[in-house]
Chains A and B, each alone.
Chain A
Amino acid sequence: MSTAENSTPTPAAPAATVRPLAKKRARPSEQAFKWLVVILTGITLAMLAWLITSVVLKGAGSLSWDFLTGKPSANPAKAGFNSALRGSIVLMIITIAVAWPIGVAAALYLEKFATQSAALAERRLATKLEATTGGAMRAWLHTRLWWLRVRPKVVHLVDVNISNLAAVPSIIYGLLGLAIFVGIMGIQKSLLAGGLTLAVLILPIIIIASREALRAVPVSIEQGAMALGATRWQAVRRQVFPAALPGILTGTILAVSRAIGETAPLIVVGGIVFGTAVPSLNPLDAGNEALFAMPLQIYFWTDQPQASFQAIAAAGIIVLLATLLVMNLVAIILRNRYSKRW
């Protein structure tokens, strides 16, 4: 016994603890946790299945070509979803066209340019400053130096705010859209005002998702490109951005899926539930078209006393769900097709 204690503590224990893998059995607590997770997943899926089944059972009977191509009506038997469907399509086109370029550009800057070390640039500017004598030029160089110093703080501030903005209730964006687009910019309450509002609403989500996607590209790719002589811009444009694009697109489509279901901000910027004219699908006309949208129409119908309105509301929900499903499907296909592994 004593000799064993005195000898070096080269473990004799492992022989006892390492068991062949085949014999390994989960501990009771592990087993219990596994079942808990399975049950909770089951509950979630069951709720979803129940929701979809009840909606389909209620609405399938009202779903017809006439429903998809008809105008809104006070008579539930004649009421159609065409205006709302078109409104939502135009809203999505405007939202993507505005939010995507701005969001991706912001993500590229924040992730690939703003956070780079400024040491080298600072030194270069300092040397330049010593060599220049012109007052205006010196002032300009001083400003650039100052910016390089405060940039990390500004970027951090922007960072925190973007994350916070993603959690702001959507009706606040509606009020913002009303104040800025309708109030200050003087756009009339229309699909354009609604689309711009939704674009602002999903901008933080697109930025966050795009930054995540950019971050997932290994730094070695960028460094490799730069080692071969590419500038940072070239490396980002030709290597990092294409590699991150699938992730960026997935994030964008999920963000747009959120926008398509929004009701509250649209009510604030003048959403309507009935119009005798069907809105044009041309996004360039959107500034003159009444703000129709699928969720608004559905909400109005569910609020009606007659049971037949509940049925067409359910049919509307099916169309909305189908649209969402298609959008998510596109996201999944794009991701699977182009995702790279390093």
Chain B
Amino acid sequence: MKSRRMYASLAALAVAGGSLTLAACGSSDSSSDTSGGGGANLAGKIAIDGSSTVAPLTTAAAEAFNGKNPDVNITVGTSGTGGGFEVFCKGETDISNASREIKDDEAAACKAAGIDYVPVRVASDGITLVTKTGVDVGKVCLNFAELKKIWAPGSKVNNWSQVGSGFKDLPLALAGAGSESGTYDFFNETILGEDAKGDVIQSRQDYSASEDDNVTVRAVSDAEAGLGYFGFSYYEANTDTMQAFAVDGGKGCVEPTTDSITKGDYPISRPLYVYVSKKALARPEVKAFVNDYVDNAVQLATDAQFVPAPQSSLDADKKTLSGS
């Protein structure tokens, strides 16, 4: 008897679960049925993966494109620039977001699989060096030699006064990107360069490292006179608690601003790319999406609080796209 009652209530639970499922079904199926409004009548699937830094911008582009072409289904994943290229070169994705250029071994993998691609620069980013608002470490500009001294492997610098003359006697707490992040790779490549064997020198590891730049933001704002680095968008979102250093890459001190990063005057600025498979580009929906993305890149970047790509490079990419 008892067990029968138990089975009965299990069944009831299953039914309840099922009806909940159905109810949830009903509420949103209407949204996917609003198709048919697009003028070009494009349809299909576009699979995108790669850098989580570029993902919000590509997401914005996909959203805008989907508004005009509701039958095109676009997905965006965030398995990182390297992880993205891995599946891209297997032909699993059509477009790969990248916060750096494709590496030689990745390009070789693509070539081996017969995947030909076009890199399209969609935005820019500047690695911004920051400390807490209101802290005076003695200087407002850091040059590459000073940065190298701080971040070099084995460096024991833990006070601003050790960085060079003109800096005050303040404890220096470091924070930055974790080793899985493209930001980390790019920072090391630019500041520390390569060793004799041609490998990028890895920075010291005894700092507060995180893949999540918001953790770095917090680490810097908690430190008395810390130094942290992250993408420019994170600085823009935290200008009330952070102040940025100007950086001297040999041509004088340059403040990180939208303008100086777009132009490339700011010495630690990098382009952000989407890599488009040529095979996918032959499909009308992919071609339309990428063209739409490039046409609206500046507006999309501004809206999503990215630093736009220079118009000249956008024009050049547009020409390449129409050629291929």
Q: Spell out A's residues near B (CB within 8 Å).
A: 69, 71-75, 82, 85-86, 89, 93, 189, 242, 245-246, 267, 270-278, 280-282, 290, 300, 302-307, 310, 330, 337-338
Contact = CB atoms under 8 A, between A and B. Distances in A.
Given A303-B214, A306-B305, A82 B52 contact: no
A290 B75 contact: yes
Contact of A273 (B77, B87, B211): B77
B2 interface: yes
Nearest to B210: A303
A274 B237 contact: no
B234 A305 contact: yes
Which of B21, B57, B236: most chain A Cβ within 10 A?
A: B21
A275 B24 contact: no
A89 B21 contact: yes
Contacts of B75: 272, 274-277, 290
A89 B236 CA distance: 37
B233 interface: yes
B78 A273 contact: yes
A278 B55 contact: no
Nearest to A82: B28
Nearest to A330: B13
B65 to A, nearest CB: 8
Interface string B280-307: 0000000000000000000000011100
A217 to B, nearest CB: 13
Nearest to B237: A305
A74 B6 contact: no
Contacts of A278: 28, 31-32
A278 to B, nearest CB: 5
A72 B59 contact: yes
Contacts of A75: 60, 63, 303
Contact of B63 (A74, A282, A304): A74
B194 interface: no
A185 to B, nearest CB: 16
Contacts, number: 109
B70 to A, nearest CB: 8
Given A300-B52, A305-B214, A274 B62 contact: yes
A290 B63 CA distance: 16
A276 B79 contact: no
A88 to B, nearest CB: 11
Contacts of B3: 242, 245
Interface string B2-44: 1100100100010000000110110110011000000000000
Interface string B208-229: 0001111000000000000000
Which of B22, B63, B66: most chain A Cβ within 10 A?
A: B63
Contacts of A302: 212, 214
Contact of B73 (A189, A277, A280): A277
A276 B24 contact: no
B231 interface: yes
B25 A305 contact: no
A305 B234 CA distance: 5
Given A281-B22, A306-B233, 8 more contacts: A86-B24, A267-B79, A274-B62, A277-B73, A278-B32, A280-B25, A305-B238, A338-B2
B110 interface: no
Interface of B: 2-3, 6, 9, 13, 21-22, 24-25, 27-28, 31-32, 49, 52, 55-57, 59-60, 62-63, 66, 70, 72-79, 87, 92, 211-214, 231, 233-234, 236-238, 303-305
A305 B6 contact: no
Nearest to A272: B77
A273 B63 CA distance: 13
B36 to A, nearest CB: 15
Given A300-B52, A303-B52, A242 B6 contact: yes
A174 to B, nearest CB: 11
B63 A300 contact: no
B31 A71 contact: yes
Contacts of B32: 277-278
A228 to B, nearest CB: 17
Contacts of A307: 237
Ranked 10 nearest A-B pairs via Cβ: A74-B60, A274-B76, A242-B3, A305-B237, A276-B66, A275-B75, A272-B77, A305-B234, A74-B59, A305-B233
Nearest to A290: B75
Given A69-B27, A74-B60, A303-B214, A276 B233 contact: no
Contacts of A73: 59, 63
Contacts of A276: 62-63, 66, 70, 72-75
10 contacts: A89-B24, A93-B21, A245-B6, A273-B55, A275-B73, A281-B24, A282-B25, A303-B214, A305-B236, A306-B305
A222 to B, nearest CB: 15
B6 to A, nearest CB: 5
Nearest to B72: A276
A272 B76 contact: yes
Which of B6, B25, B56, B60: most chain A Cβ within 10 A?
A: B56
A189 B83 CA distance: 14
Contacts of A310: 214
Nearest to B212: A303
B77 A270 contact: yes
B254 to A, nearest CB: 21
B194 to A, nearest CB: 29
Contacts of B2: 242, 338
Which of B3, B59, B213, B234: most chain A Cβ within 10 A?
A: B59
Nearest to B66: A276
A275 B76 contact: yes
Contacts of B21: 89, 93, 281
A282 B21 CA distance: 8
A71 B29 CA distance: 12
B76 A273 contact: yes
